[in-house]
Amino acid sequence: MLPEEIDRWTAILRQRREVLAGRDAAEAAAIDAALERLQEGTFGQCKRCGSAISAGRMQVQPSAATCLACQELAERQRSFISLPIA
């Protein structure tokens, strides 16, 4: 990622962090984690499969740590685990 891109994403994430301060602790933590990924050079990479996270997903959810396919799989797994046992 180019330095200009890192600067742009850092500004976007910090602005969102300021807006959410005190309102949504989970999203604020996700933004902090995204800022760490920017520093590490792994921002925009899925933490689960290693693939690139789509630009569209990053625009909508800059703190996203997983690609859409992995996010959907995780949600299906959570819903399956939470099904009541008959």
Q: Write down the pLDDT at residue 84.
A: 65
In a domain, 46, yes or no: yes
Residue 80, pLDDT > 80, answer no
pLDDT, tens digit (0-9, with 9 covering 90-100), for 52-76 = 999 999 999 999 999 999 999 999 8
Between 82 and 37, residue with greater pLDDT: 37
Region 80-84: mean pLDDT is: 66
In a domain, 70, yes or no: yes
In a domain, 60, yes or no: yes
In a domain, 86, yes or no: no
In a domain, 54, yes or no: yes
In a domain, 8, yes or no: yes
Q: Write down the pLDDT at residue 78.
A: 84
CATH number at residue 17: 1.20.120.910
Type of residue numbered 77:
Q
Residue 49, pLDDT > 70, answer yes
Alpha-carbon distance values, 47 to 22, 37, 64, 67 (Å): 26, 10, 9, 8
In a domain, 39, yes or no: yes
Structural domain for 51, as ranges: 3-81
pLDDT, tens digit (0-9, with 9 covering 90-100), for 1-34 = 888 999 999 999 999 999 887 888 899 999 999 9
Number of domains, the chain: 1
Residue closest to 18 by CA, chosen among 49, 27, 8: 27
